[in-house]
Structure 1
Amino acid sequence: MADRPKILVTQQVPEAAYPLLEAVGDVEANREEGVIWSADELLQRAPGHDYLYCLVTNTIDARLLEACAAATPRLKLVANMAVGYNNIDVAAATRLNIAITNTPGVLSDTTADLTFGLLMAIARRISEAERFLRAGKFTGWGPLLLCGADVHHATLGIIGMGRIGKLVAKRASGFDMKVLYHNTHRLPAEEEQRYNATYVSLEDLLRQSDFVCLQAPYKPETHHLIGEKELEMMKPSSFLINTARGPMVDEKALVQALQRGTIAGAGLDVFENEPAVEPELLSMENVVLLPHIGSASHQTRTRMATMASENIVAHASEQRPPNILNPEALV
């Protein structure tokens, strides 16, 4: 009887993921809540496993992949419990015939919900107002108390009109917002009509939007997509929303723009050097900060977890993983 494959789960994940994995292999798992293995610890633990189940908090670089490819048994597949995969050196994995999978689609609606919630929170000063009340500062209603910005009929600019961007546009329709978008490729006319979205250049989007929402994938071309020059193009009354990836925004430039009043505020669920946050942001009232919870509903995280497991199960069963990113690595 052939040896059962060895599977390493790098961080605690929803319970539904484990039975699927245990049905096809021997599972070693980090089940300590909140514990994230360091790069060195991962390098020590991962080699000798057939499958690696990881999260965006794990850096799966060429050094780790090469060590895993040289070990016995050799690594066959990395299942990333996320839609984004900038934490993985996919090129190195492909060169080493290591398959990479992700969990697309399932988190789109949940992340769009959070995006719109963040937009509402910064526009209407919800977090600031709650802190004000909890601090005992609320002594009575006043006509100028914590006035914010209207969301209805405002102009929303979406950078990146993929799954999540389209769903954010769909939510904006309920607020009668004007939707502008910028994307690598223009959408077909019927999709533009469906989402009531108008294609514009990045520069026009920044200049015209009351809310600029980042939904593009992170890659070298989108690193610091929003920097000093782009922030200067935005309205002094506008807000920046980022629920995509932190390094798309030059955080130091953002701090300066907020301090100078170049823009009115920002809502951030992701950070350039996550989990570290620029210290100045922490003390700003015109910023809403969240700890990367875009997909954090029980239902969605459970589905993400089982989808990652299903990719491993498929490969272990000699089937094509449903969410393979580099099919050329399958041997």
Structure 2
Amino acid sequence: MNKSATYQVVFMDVLAPAVQRVIASVFGPPFETRFALNYDARHQTELCRAADFLVPGWAQLTGEMLEAAERVQAVHKWGIGVDRIDVQAARRLGIPVAITAGSNAGPVAELAITLMLAVYRRIYYVNREMRAGKWPKSEMRETCFQIHGKTIGLVGFGNIGRKLARRLAGFEPGAILYCDRYAAPAEVEHALGARRVELPELLSRSDIVSLHAPYDESTRHLIDASAIRRMKKGAVLINTARGELVDEAALASALKRGHLMGAGLDAFDPEPPDPGNPLLALDQVIVTPHAGGGVFDNVAPVAAHVLRNLQRFVAGESIAAQDLIVSENRRTP
């Protein structure tokens, strides 16, 4: 590590001033922070050219941007999903890519539960009705439900899925099922009260299906018309992962037909969704703007996670395997 060097750390997302201040307060010499003003491709590319380290969150990082980023030594995702980063270009250019594994798991798990409750208790509809001077108490009793006793199916059982299972325990669900390409250790399953099954069984048995899988070509439209037909009549779909996991047209059709009770969606394809997206017109759909990890009291911990990895990088130390997407085949600036 060159003790006299300074490093420009560019945060590619447009962040609120209060969030910028928290991040800047976590970082210090030899790191200097800079924040994007907008998502215009030309502006983002200029930021890339000036950066030693890039920190994209929702911002897209293309191969062309990486080609222009001749000083960049590493890319560090704010969060975990790398589907908006051209990982193949980074690998070709010798640019390491890291993530903040587990850093957003708690907030995302809490939002998933929030969406479950909001759908089950029809919060959007009832709130609107009351503000219009109505009193839908009797209607709520015949159309609302509780999580207690229900079977919850988790599609993906990494950090977020496991945090969610732990938080759900207090609601005393009837069962927690999960599907994942890798089985969790037996002691983890026992501690969380979760059992691994294949996706068709999970879909057919679950009252609530919550998505926590990464997006790649193998998971595109994982929840399509065929998958939805397998789901129980009156089931609820929650998506706090990636919009591409769900065939939105098939979901809208199932909701209109009454096959599904409702959906809680924090992710869309594309983002932001088209104003004419039929899902936005349905009372039984609760929507949030892909903000599962977007809580103010988690900004400093995530920033500290990024900082620790960048400190390791400039010191020539290894980054934890769970955080490393593209190996440290270091590029010489």
Q: Same fold (TM over 0.5)?
A: yes
Match of 1:15 among 12, 17, 21: 21
What are the equivalent positions in structure 2 for 1:33-72 lying under 5 Å apart? 36-55=38-57, 57-68=58-69, 71=70
Alignment of 1:147-296 (within 5 A): 147-177=143-173, 178-277=175-274, 279-296=277-294
SS of the residue 2:76 aligns to? strand
CA contact (8 A) 2:11 2:35 kept: yes
**Which residue does the alignment assign to 1:326?**
326
Counterpart Cα distance in 2 of 1:324 and 1:183:
20
User: TM-score, normalized by length of structure 2?
Assistant: 0.88
Q: Which deviates more, 152-161 or 300-309?
A: 300-309
Greater CA deviation, 156-165 or 36-45?
36-45
Q: Distance in 1 between matches of 2:199 and 2:11?
A: 40
Which of 101, 104, 109 in structure 2 is aligned with 1:107?
104
CA shift for structure 1 position 141: 4.1
For residues 35-83 of structure 1, what are the alpha-carbon distances to aligned partners after superposition, in whole Å with 9 as ceiling and x for unaligned? x32233312331242221221x211121211221xx3xx2111121112
Q: Say if 1:297 and 1:146 are closer, same or farther in 2 by CA, change over 3 A.
A: farther
Which moves more between the two structures, 116-125 or 190-199? Answer: 190-199
* Alignment partner, residue 93 of structure 2: 96
**Aligned partners of 2:293 and 2:11: how far apart in 1?**
20
Shift in Å, 1:2 = 5.8
Question: Per the alignment, do residues 265 and 144 of structure 1 end up closer, same or farther by CA in structure 2, a change over 3 Å counting?
Answer: closer
**Percent of pairs with identical residues:** 31
Deviation digits for residues 244-287 of structure 1 (CA, Å, limit 9, x no counterpart): 11111111111111112221110111112111246211221111
SS in 2 for 1:257: helix
Gaps of 5+ in 1: none
The corresponding residue for 1:75 is 72
Aligned residue for 1:329, secondary structure, equals coil
Distance 1:325 1:144 in 2: 47
Q: CA deviation at 1:149?
A: 2.1
Letter aligned with residue 50 of structure 1: D
Is 1:134–2:149 an aligned residue pair? Answer: no
Q: 1:314 to 1:17 in 2, by over 3 A?
A: farther
**CA distance in structure 2 between the aligned counterparts of 1:231 and 1:39, rounded to whole angstroms:** 37
Give the length in aligned residue pairs.
321
5+ residue gaps, structure 2, are none
In 2, distance between residues paired with 1:321 and 1:182?
29
SS of the residue corresponding to residue 300 of structure 2 reads helix
Please name the residue that 1:122 is paired with. 119
State the one-letter code of the partner of 2:232: K
Residue by residue over 1:217-270, the C-alpha shift from the partner in whole angstroms, topping out at 9 and shown as x without a partner, is 222211111011101111121000011111111111111111122211101111
Task: Verify the 8 A CA contact 1:21 1:312 in the aligned structure 2.
Answer: no
Once residues 28 and 182 of structure 1 are traced to their aligned partners in structure 2, the CA distance between those partners, rounded to angstroms, is 40
